[in-house]
Structures are given as structure tokens and as C-alpha cells.
Chains A and B, each alone.
Chain A
Amino acid sequence: MHLAMMKPGQQGKIVHIGTAVGPIKRRLMDMGVLAGEPVRVEKVAPLGDPIEVTIKGYNLSLRKKEAEGIEVEVTP
């Protein structure tokens, strides 16, 4: 299960930042996207991409392509 598969309103926990590499991975980590971090999907943009999530108490938007590289497990 990866972040792009989560629906708006769903909550989860980051398991692993997988396929994203190099600058993208570093950028995500610098912005607090780290294994173990709780995350909640807030919205999908009107045109279907990107998505908006809450992490570490702030709102972050990222494309589905990047979100696909972030493995999550959904928490109820």
C-alpha cells in the first residue's frame, strides 16, 4: 500500500520511503516525511493530481508519482 492509494480522510503511518531517490527523497525527508510518521490524506486536487496531506502538523502537497514511492499502512 502506498500513499497515493489512500483516500481523502484516511489516516496512516509511513513505513518506508522506497522508490523515491536522490533529491526527491532528501526533500521529502527534510520536510518530515520519515518512516514511522503518522500521515493523513486531506484532499486530491480537482484535476486528480497532486494530493494534499497533513504531516507533522502542517499541510504538504505532492504529486501522486512521488506519493507512490512512499509506503504506508493505514490506521483506522
Chain B
Amino acid sequence: MTEQTPHTANDAVSSAAPRPLVVAVAGNPNVGKSTLINAIAGTRLQVGNWPGVTVEKKEALFEHNGRKIRLVDLPGTYSLSPYTQEEIIARDYLVKLRPDLIVNVVDATNLERNLYLTVQLMELGIPVVMALNIYDEAEAKGYRFNLHGIETMLGVGVVPTSATRRSGLTELLDKVLETAAQPADHAPRILNYGDDVETAVALLGDTLRREHPALFALYPERWLLLRLMEGDERLRQEINLAQDALPEEIFHHLRRGHGEDLEALMADARYSQAAGLAREVLFKKEERRVEMTERIDRVVLNRFLGIPIFLAAMWLVFKLTFDLSKPFGDWINDMAGGPFKHWTTVLLGLVGAPDWTVSLATEGVISGVGFVLVFVPVIFMMMFFITFLEGSGYMARAAFVMDRAMHAMGLHGKSFIPLLLGFGCNVPGIYATRTLENPRDKVLTALLIPLMSCGARLPVYVLFVGAFFPNNPGTVIWSLYVLGIALAIVMGVFFKRTLFRGEAPMFIMELPPYRMPSFTSLCLHTWEKGKHFLIKAGTYILAVSIFVWFLLNLPWGVEHKKDSYLGQAGQVMAPVLSPLGFGTWQAASSLITGVIAKEIVVGTMGEIYAPKKGEQKKPEASFGEDLQEIAVSFGKAVKESASNVVSTFGVSSLAADEKEDRGPLKATIQQTFTPLSAYAFMVFVLLYMPCVVVAIAMRQEFGSWKWFGVAFAYQSALAWGMAMIVYQGGQLLGWGV
């Protein structure tokens, strides 16, 4: 996927199957490149209505009319300048790996600014086909296009498309194949950037051809000359050209006529081509309509309402997430603990398996995975809402509203997005820091992400809140999220003053129009995000559950779990935790396993506190009855979930009474914790080190363990300190009962 050699010309050696046609999909951010590829190739690339969703290049292979085509989704860029990571990825790909063809996705509602990139793509000398996307919205606005005009003026094929409605796709692919069949006839026009520029380019070309002819084999000629002329430092260093290797008189002449800044000169030249073209081919009515986006923004970004609305939106997301998903979580829990365990025991008994395998299967595998699966509904619900916020365009507003606050912590409004994603799972949050342009922002944001309470910590809260704060579970959980955020602010300011002194980053961002994401695409992308959690629960947490079972049951034949390996480790660590109110070996052991992934804390507790088998045997039920029971209780869960929505909005409290018992685990922890120490424990789980996957993600992003080390150190200190303050402080205030 990351070949170093160009895949044109000479790698068509493997004769039998023809080499797939390599088509790069390039365009401005948020114009629907990923949506288009998903629609064409049936892939599930991530999509969202804010600039910067795709941050690395992704590929999709498919066939059209018998021809294999490889589509490469490039990150969206406004330009091919070498300043942001996305721009560098896109331009390195286009210049060095030279795709056979470029599909330039253009936002039809925003033609001029999009053409500015088109003009730059044309400099590469690669055939271009333009997908005039979001055509539906442009038509709705009353825009008309002279498509033939664009084709003749630019020398590129144009096809109107609407990726979300899947229209124009076949035509686009036909045009791609047609163009690729005769690449020589479809070279984009060479646009004239004005006499002064063109003279300078010609002169520069003569010099380079004389002195560095090899360069022209490596780079597209016009692109190379134009970039060198405008003073592209990255390119100059890449080709090892000394600053004074370029003839000074060329620049001298240009500077006299156009001022010092040749970059500005070129931006102007390219934009005037774009503007001229847009004037020629686009007809719009000159009235200024108040559009839906503007009406919504008047409220959502209002001086006084903006912040309350933002907070209320976040609150609603959490509230709905928990209320909607809880009955389903309970249902899964009942199923795993009841019929499932029961039938496994029966089946294993039938084949005459030894007792310890029954224990491993029920206590290790089913309990472990079951405890985690219980939280699948919560995670999916949360992902659903995050996907909705992304898809609707509110994310970008959130960045706009929050930028001032983020800025105070030395961050960028856009950092808000990775931080917010961190609430789902810290790992995608860490990867999303790539949307930040400046390395400093990236590291600082990534350091704070683990303070965002991820979905994996929820199981722990849900369990403890259910046991100790049944009357106001939402508020208690909310307080933990707020604590995480508050500490992120404190740590942000702290880091800004210590490790990250210096220049604060820029904030220049497009606010896209609001769009209603379609329900199918919402579900699809929710599934894609939630899948990671499922896979984790299915494989690696399964493995860990088994491992923990062994730790708990070794040395072979231990009588008490306390004497098992895990129990011994827990005993060593327990004294460190006693000032925090939970200095028991059980709590310590659970926390140790939580390092692998925080949701495992609950699984381990289940293991440790699990009742001896046999205690919970139900009266024998037939398989048929159990199946019926499963179906009936699922129906109840659906009803309960629906009535919870109603009560969320305060219409009335139809919610069914809380089922009095969610298993023996709750009862046991009620005996070993007090509400105060339970809260301290939750605070500790919120803050103590990021999980192993986050560690790996950080290492990948920053190329060393250094920043993970920093995160590990400060979080351990913070977790211990905060839990101590909560517990000791609470006791002083007399809450320790």
C-alpha cells in the first residue's frame, strides 16, 4: 500500500491480469470524496460533515466494465502547498507515485474556491476528471452550470454527481475509463498565469534543463518550475538545490513588478484563473437568501445561547445514550448470567467434561465476555450520537464555540474534536490529532485525551453507580465526565506553562452547511466505529478473561482467590491504595488487569467476586422455555428503552421499576465499598494510566515512547492524588459512611 516506486510504466510486468488503473481522488476537505468512494466501491471509509475527516490515504479496489480500478482516497486539501500534514500526504502521493488519473471532487456549491485546487492539480500534467459533487444542493440553490464550458476551458472531463444519492456514478466511471484509454488526448490545459510569471517559468526551465536535467524525470515539469518559482522550501530541500542555484534575475524582475511575496503572487494568479472560470460557467441568482444553515447558526452560535446550547447538547447525548441503552444492557446481562451459563454447564456436563473446564467456560469465558458485552448497547448508542454530530455539521460549530476555551489551555478549537472522540474511545481520538497542523498541538492534545472518560470506563461506572447511587446515576456519571474535563483544563494550562511554552497555533477553519445525515449512513458509520469495541470484546478481552481466570486459579488448586497469583499481586499493591479508601486486594487486582483495557476491571471483579458455581442454579427449565424467556425479555427491554426516552423529556415517568438485582456482583461490592470509596474508586479508574492500545497509538503517532511515558507519569500521580483528596476530604466532611 505504501510502495516507494511509481506504479506507472514498469510495474505492469506481471502479465496475465492487467495492472489496475490507479485513480487518486483529490479535492477540498468535506466535499464528499470518501462518500463518493463508499458509494462507488462499497467501502466504509469514514465520513463526516467537517473538514479533515480523512487524514491518511485509504484505498478501494473494484471493477467497472471489466477494468480493475484502484481508488485512492486522499485527505482533503485546499491547496498543494507544503504546510499541513494532509497537504504533504496528498502532494507527495500525486507527485511521487503519479497515479494514472485524478478524480477531482469539487463542491458544486462552492465552485470558485474548489477550482483553486483544480488549477493546481492541472499543473501536474496527469489527466483529470472532475466530479461536480453535491450537485443536488447546488441545484436546490438554483445554480446552473455550463458543463461543456468547463470541459473546453480546462481540458478535463466533467460529470455532475451526488454521492449521497448515488447519482452520476456510472457516468463518472465511464468518463474515467474513456479518459484513461487515451491519456495523451486528455492532458489538462496549461493555464496562463500572466506574462511575467510565464516568462520567469520559461527562464527557470532553461536554467534547470541545462544544469539539473535529471530533475525532469522525477517531477512534473510545470509543477516543479512553478513551485520553485514561488519559493517552495520543502521542494527545494527535497531536491537538494542550493538557495542560490536559481538565477536571481528572474526573481528580481518579478519582485520589482509584484512585490516581495511570490507566494502571494501565485495565489493571486491561480485564484484569478479560478474566479474567471467560475464567472464564465456558473450562473446564480443574485439574491441573498437566508438559508437554513444561517437560521440554525443564529441560534446555535448566538452570543448568549451558544454555550448553554452546546452544554445542553452534550448532556442530552449522554442522557439519551444511557437511558436508551440500559434496558438492553440488562437484558444481555440476564441472558449471559442465566440461560447461557446454564446451558453451557448442562452441555459440558453431558459430554463429561471435568469440573475445572466448566468453571473456565462459565466463570472465565462467559462471565468475562458477558460482562463486557453488557456495555455494547451503551457504546453503540454513544457512537451513534457522535456520528450524528459529525454528520450534521455541528462538530465544526462546537470547535468554533469552544475555541476560546481551548485556546486558554494552549489548544486549538479543532483539538476539541479529538478530545470529544476520546469520549467514545481514546484511540480514535489519538489518531484524530492528525487533523491538527502543528506538532505541538498534536502532542498536547494527545496527552489530554486520556482524561476524557472513554466508553471502556463506563462499565465500571455503571456497575458502581448501580450499586451505590441508584437514585441519580446520570448525575454521578456526569460528574465524572466533568471532572475529567476540568482536570484536562488544569493540565492543559500546566503543560502550556511548562513543557509547551511558545507560539500558540492558528485557527482557520471552514464551517460547512448543516446536512441531515441519512439513517443508513448513520447506522453504517456507527457500526464501523462500534465494531472495534466488539472485536476487542470478542477476541482480546476473551483472551484476557481466560488469562485472568488462570491467574486466579493458579497455583493449581488454590483454595482462596486471595492466594492466587493475581491475588498475591493485588495484596502487594493494596497498601498503596488504602489512603484512597479501597485498599483491598480485590480492588487492586482488578485495577492491575484494567491496564490492558479499562472495561476489564469489571470482568475481573466478576471473576473475583463470582459466587461458587451451583449457587445460582435455576430450577431446570427446558430449552424451549428458555428461548421463549429470551424473546419475551427482549421485548420488555425495547419497551423500557422507549419509555425511557419519553421520561428523558420529562413527559412522565413511565420507566419500569429498576430490577432489584443485577446479580451477586453488585451485592458483593456493596459490602466491600462505601459510597465514598466507590466514588474515589471511580475517580481512580477515570484517571489512572491510559490502556495498552492508547499506548500503542501514541507510540505510532509520535514515533517514540516518550510522550506515553509523560502521560503515564502524570496520570498515575493525578489518579492517586485526586482519589485521595476525594476519599480523605469526604471523610473529613463526614461523608464516609
A-side residues, CB < 8 A to B, are 17, 23-32, 34-35, 42-50, 52, 56-63, 66
Tell me the nearest residue of chain B to A58, going by C-beta.
Answer: B110
Closest beta carbon of chain B to A67's beta carbon, Å: 10
With A26-B81, A43-B301, A46-B304 as given contacts, are A52 and B511 in contact (CB-CB < 8 Å)? yes
Tell me the nearest residue of chain B to A8, going by C-beta.
Answer: B303
User: Closest 7 A-B residue pairs measured CB to CB?
Assistant: A46-B306, A47-B404, A30-B79, A29-B267, A59-B511, A23-B83, A30-B78
Binds A, one of B144-152, B383-391, B464-472, B501-509: B501-509
Please, which residues of chain A bring their CB within 8 A of the CB of B303?
Answer: 44, 46
Contact of B83 among A27, A46, A58 (CB under 8 A): A27
| Interface contacts beyond A46-B304, A46-B401, A52-B400: sample of 11 additional A-B pairs, CB < 8 Å, sorted by A | A24-B508, A26-B267, A31-B78, A43-B301, A44-B303, A46-B301, A46-B305, A47-B405, A49-B407, A50-B413, A58-B510
Q: Tell me how many residues of B have a C-beta within 8 Å of chain A.
A: 37
What CA separation (Å) do A52 and B264 show in the bound complex? 23
Please, which residues of chain A bring their CB within 8 A of the CB of B113?
Answer: 31-32, 56-58
Closest beta carbon of chain A to B332's beta carbon, Å: 41
What CA separation (Å) do A25 and B508 show in the bound complex? 11
B290-301 CB mask vs A (1 if < 8 Å, else 0) is 000000010001
Please, which residues of chain B bring their CB within 8 A of the CB of A34?
Answer: 264, 267-268, 271
B666-704 CB mask vs A (1 if < 8 Å, else 0) is 000000000000000000000000000000000000000
With A24-B506, A26-B83, A27-B83 as given contacts, are A32 and B401 in contact (CB-CB < 8 Å)? no
Contact of A29 among B263, B507, B511 (CB under 8 A): B263
Interface centre among A28, A44, A58, A66 (most CB of B within 10 A): A58
Tell me, yes or no, whether B100 is within 8 Å of chain A by CB: no
Judge whether A45 and B400 touch: CB under 8 Å.
yes
With A50-B507, A59-B510, A62-B508 as given contacts, are A29 and B264 in contact (CB-CB < 8 Å)? yes
What CA separation (Å) do A45 and B511 show in the bound complex? 13
Closest beta carbon of chain B to A14's beta carbon, Å: 12
Please, which residues of chain A bring their CB within 8 A of the CB of B510?
Answer: 31, 58-61
Please, which residues of chain A bring their CB within 8 A of the CB of B479?
Answer: none
CB pairs A–B below 8 angstroms (21 shown) = A24-B506, A27-B83, A29-B263, A29-B264, A31-B78, A43-B297, A45-B301, A45-B403, A46-B307, A46-B401, A47-B401, A47-B403, A49-B403, A50-B413, A56-B110, A59-B512, A61-B403, A62-B506, A62-B509, A63-B507, A66-B506
Tell me, yes or no, whether B344 is within 8 Å of chain A by CB: no
What CA separation (Å) do A42 and B510 show in the bound complex? 13
Please, which residues of chain A bring their CB within 8 A of the CB of B512?
Answer: 59
Judge whether A26 and B263 touch: CB under 8 Å.
yes
Please, which residues of chain B bring their CB within 8 A of the CB of A31?
Answer: 78, 113, 508, 510
Please, which residues of chain A bring their CB within 8 A of the CB of B405?
Answer: 47
Interface centre among B79, B302, B405, B508 (most CB of A within 10 A): B508
What CA separation (Å) do A63 and B437 show in the bound complex? 15
Closest beta carbon of chain B to A56's beta carbon, Å: 5
Please, which residues of chain A bring their CB within 8 A of the CB of B79?
Answer: 26, 30
Closest beta carbon of chain A to B552's beta carbon, Å: 51
Judge whether B407 and A57 touch: CB under 8 Å.
no
Please, which residues of chain B bring their CB within 8 A of the CB of A60?
Answer: 508-511
What CA separation (Å) do A48 and B509 show in the bound complex? 16
Closest beta carbon of chain B to A11's beta carbon, Å: 11
Closest beta carbon of chain B to A52's beta carbon, Å: 6
Tell me, yes or no, whether B112 is within 8 Å of chain A by CB: yes
Contact of A45 among B116, B305, B404, B506 (CB under 8 A): B404
Please, which residues of chain A bring their CB within 8 A of the CB of B264?
Answer: 17, 25, 29, 34
B624-647 CB mask vs A (1 if < 8 Å, else 0) is 000000000000000000000000
What CA separation (Å) do A17 and B307 show in the bound complex? 32
Please, which residues of chain A bring their CB within 8 A of the CB of B116?
Answer: 30, 32
Closest beta carbon of chain A to B495's beta carbon, Å: 20
Closest beta carbon of chain A to B407's beta carbon, Å: 7
What CA separation (Å) do A45 and B405 show in the bound complex? 11
What CA separation (Å) do A63 and B400 show in the bound complex? 10
What CA separation (Å) do A22 and B445 show in the bound complex? 24
What CA separation (Å) do A56 and B405 show in the bound complex? 29
Tell me the nearest residue of chain B to A47, going by C-beta.
Answer: B404
Please, which residues of chain A bring their CB within 8 A of the CB of B84?
Answer: 27
What CA separation (Å) do A58 and B305 show in the bound complex? 23
Closest beta carbon of chain A to B712's beta carbon, Å: 32
Closest beta carbon of chain A to B401's beta carbon, Å: 6
What CA separation (Å) do A76 and B297 show in the bound complex? 24
Please, which residues of chain A bring their CB within 8 A of the CB of B508?
Answer: 24, 27-28, 31, 60-62, 66
Please, which residues of chain B bring their CB within 8 A of the CB of A49?
Answer: 403-404, 407
What CA separation (Å) do A47 and B400 show in the bound complex? 10
What CA separation (Å) do A34 and B407 show in the bound complex? 26
What CA separation (Å) do A32 and B267 show in the bound complex? 9
With A32-B271, A62-B507 as given contacts, are A50 and B403 in contact (CB-CB < 8 Å)? yes
Judge whether A23 and B506 touch: CB under 8 Å.
yes
Judge whether B83 and A66 touch: CB under 8 Å.
no
Closest beta carbon of chain A to B436's beta carbon, Å: 13
Closest beta carbon of chain A to B655's beta carbon, Å: 35
Closest beta carbon of chain B to A64's beta carbon, Å: 10
Closest beta carbon of chain A to B311's beta carbon, Å: 11
What CA separation (Å) do A44 and B401 show in the bound complex? 9
With A43-B297, A47-B404 as given contacts, are A30 and B267 in contact (CB-CB < 8 Å)? yes
Judge whether A45 and B110 touch: CB under 8 Å.
no
Tell me the nearest residue of chain A to B303, going by C-beta.
Answer: A46
Please, which residues of chain A bring their CB within 8 A of the CB of B306?
Answer: 45-46
Please, which residues of chain B bring their CB within 8 A of the CB of A61?
Answer: 400, 403, 413, 507-511
Closest beta carbon of chain B to A26's beta carbon, Å: 5
Judge whether A63 and B506 touch: CB under 8 Å.
yes
Judge whether B263 and A47 touch: CB under 8 Å.
no
Please, which residues of chain B bring their CB within 8 A of the CB of A57?
Answer: 110, 112-113
Interface centre among A35, A62, A63 (most CB of B within 10 A): A63
What CA separation (Å) do A16 and B301 show in the bound complex? 29
What CA separation (Å) do A34 and B404 show in the bound complex? 26
With A26-B263, A31-B510 as given contacts, are A52 and B301 in contact (CB-CB < 8 Å)? yes
